[in-house]
Amino acid sequence: MEKIWQKRYPNGVPNEINPDHYASLVEIFEESVKSYGDRPAFVNMDRTITFAELDTLSAQFAAYLQGLGLKKGDPVAIMMPNLLQYPVALFGVLRAGMVVVNVNPLYTARELKHQLNDSGSKAIVILKNFAHTLEKIEKDVTLDKVILTGIGDMMPTPKRQIVNFVVRYVKKMVPAYSLKNTIEFNAVLAAGSGKQPARPEMTGDDLAFLQYTGGTTGVSKGAMLTHRNMVANLEQVSAMINPLVENGKEVVITALPLYHIFALTANCLTFMKHGGCNILITNPRDMPGFVKELGKHEFTVISGVNTLFNGLLNTPGFSELDFSKLKVALGGGMAVQRAVAEHWEKVTNSVLLEGYGLTECAPVVTVNPYDIEHYTGSIGIPLSSTDVKIVDEEGNEVPQGEPGEILVKGPQVMAGYLGRPEATAEAIKDGWFATGDMGTVDEHGFFRIVDRKKDMILVSGFNVYPNEIEDVVASHPKVLEVAAVGSPHEASGEVVKIFVVKKDNSLSEKEILDYCRENLTAYKVPKLVEFRDELPKTNVGKILRRELRDEQK
């Protein structure tokens, strides 16, 4: 199809980028260290590390890994929340020519075992809070080394000892564990001190990340993201935001975990490239603490998912913060609801830009241009050098405005799933990646997500999209959160069921259903309403419709 969206690119945004501008992420890192050495790169719990310090620390980490006998291309797992140890380990692994395997620290022993074995990880960097999980499967995995770290390890003395003592013995957040082949994180840095790691020759075809997909559809698969995939996506994102960004000056709030591809690319890597400073939020679920931290910084960029933005807007003190420097608020990971976006705009005086991406696309595919004046309800337009089309069940393009499956082609699309040629062949045909998401496109090239194919509700032969139901229900002033799923029904196949978390306790089932009848066609109106204190969510804050749907069977 004709790339109609290119006509909507803001001034200065090119139609194409060069995915081979840099041979690897390491080249970008080295360039940033040279340009922004004395600038702050990462801040966490009031401790700042500059680009120059990050250069030194990550070199020590890389030298240690190479000293272990690990080679170029060997996978190294990182399992921790947002702490300063994360970027040190991340850039250390990449500089050693090895592959980063990001691991969700909330994984169960079964999930961790699968990921370590599937990826063939040779070593793991793990926060001690989660070491007991590794202990359960230690005999079932082959790790050359376990690098243990405590929450306070990057703090200066005596704060380091105090924080680690309180976390372990006062708050009792570190369950007992016993592991072999371990070394402390700070001992790793000491061992690599004064050594210059060998710099392996790297090309765009070398793997940078094994990024595991959630596993909501069976076993979790490792998306093979090459240096070229990642460089391409950084170039694409940079091209879209370049006119807005002041190199070396941006302050970015990073509350989503860096082990998740969204924050990894949009926050950590993009703003490393631009010399920005990432403020790492270790526990964004502590909303009052999060708001207090926001008050310390003149932040210019924030990224998040709908539930995070909604949570902030409903936390006392947030609306009193200074938003005068805020340029970009980027929403992704799940649909941004109109009610949340409009509330955000009113409170912060900035537009919530919705984007869309997938782990397999490194991840960004589309984003709203920064010059839109208000929330559009769309996921925006494709990035430079990106093709997107919408097809029917037979793979034929559908007419403009009609729903179909979204297919993506571009230099950010993964090399494939590790060790799964059949799954790769099923997902990528003739270079087109099938997303499993249903969407539409308008005459200006703005795409909209209608829903996940698997989440669609079929009511008497009519397609009902949960996003639409949720958007309507969420706009009710007494609703905090909502999820819509299909519930089996003898006559109609399925009916719509909603799970609602109240903002106001006076909300009744009748009130919510009357509101739905005013705003939805009859067959879309929920037949079942269940009030809950909270909804199940992923570690990133996406509501798990699948769990709620499984309860209905």
**Domain spans, the chain:** 17-358, 456-551
Mean pLDDT of the residues in the chain: 94
pLDDT in the model for residue 213: 85
Helices (H) and strands (E) in the chain, counts: 17, 27
Is residue 214 very low, low, confident or very high in pLDDT (cuts 50, 70, 90)?
low
Residue 218's CB: how many other CB atoms inside 10 A? 7
* Helix (H) / strand (E) containing 500: strand 493-502
List the CATH code of the domain at 456-551: 3.30.300.30
What is the longest distance spanned by two Cα atoms in the chain? 73
Is residue 108 very low, low, confident or very high in pLDDT (cuts 50, 70, 90)?
confident
DSSP category for residue 397: B
Is residue 218 very low, low, confident or very high in pLDDT (cuts 50, 70, 90)?
low
Rounded Cα gap, residues 339 and 471, in angstroms? 7
Rounded Cα gap, residues 268 and 139, in angstroms? 34
Question: pLDDT tens for residues 382-432?
Answer: 999 999 999 998 999 999 999 999 999 999 999 999 999 999 999 999 999
Q: Which CATH number fits domain 17-358: 1.10.8.80, 3.40.50.150, 2.60.120.10, 3.40.50.12780?
A: 3.40.50.12780
pLDDT in the model for residue 170: 97
- Residue 155 scores a pLDDT above 90: yes
Rounded Cα gap, residues 474 and 478, in angstroms? 9
Question: pLDDT tens for residues 281-329?
Answer: 999 999 999 999 999 999 999 999 888 999 999 999 999 999 999 999 9
Rounded Cα gap, residues 475 and 518, in angstroms? 12
Structure tokens at 148: 């243990």
Question: pLDDT tens for residues 430-480?
Answer: 999 999 899 999 999 999 998 777 788 888 767 788 888 999 999 999 999
Q: What percent of the chain has pLDDT over 90?
A: 86
Instruction: Evaluate whether 234 touches 27 at the Cβ level (below 8 Å).
Output: no
- Residue 376 scores a pLDDT above 60: yes
Q: Which residues on neighbouring strands pair with residue 429, listed in sequence order?
A: 432
For tokens 């926060």, name the residue: 127
Rounded Cα gap, residues 390 and 408, in angstroms? 9
Strands 457-459 and 75-79: unpaired
* The dihedral sign for the CA sequence 370, 372, 373, 375: negative
Q: State the alpha helices, DSSP H only, in 350-433.
A: 421-427
Sheet holding 99-102, edge to edge: 182-184, 145-149, 123-127, 75-79, 99-102, 207-212, 222-226, 416-417
Which residues neighbour 250 within 8 Å (Cβ) at sequence distance 6 or greater?
Answer: 271, 274, 275, 276, 277, 300, 301, 327
Query: CA distances (Å), 256 to each of 39, 71, 92, 153, 425, in order?
Result: 23, 31, 21, 21, 31
Q: 509-519 vs 466-474: helix axis angle to the nearest 10? A: 120
Instruction: Evaluate whether 2 touches 443 at the Cβ level (below 8 Å).
Output: no
Q: Which three-class secondary structure state does DSSP give residue 39? A: coil
Which residues neighbour 450 within 8 Å (Cβ) at sequence distance 6 or greater?
Answer: 403, 438, 439, 440, 465, 467, 468
Please state the rounded mean pLDDT for residues 71-90: 98
Cα–Cα nearest to 88, from 141, 46, 49, 143: 49
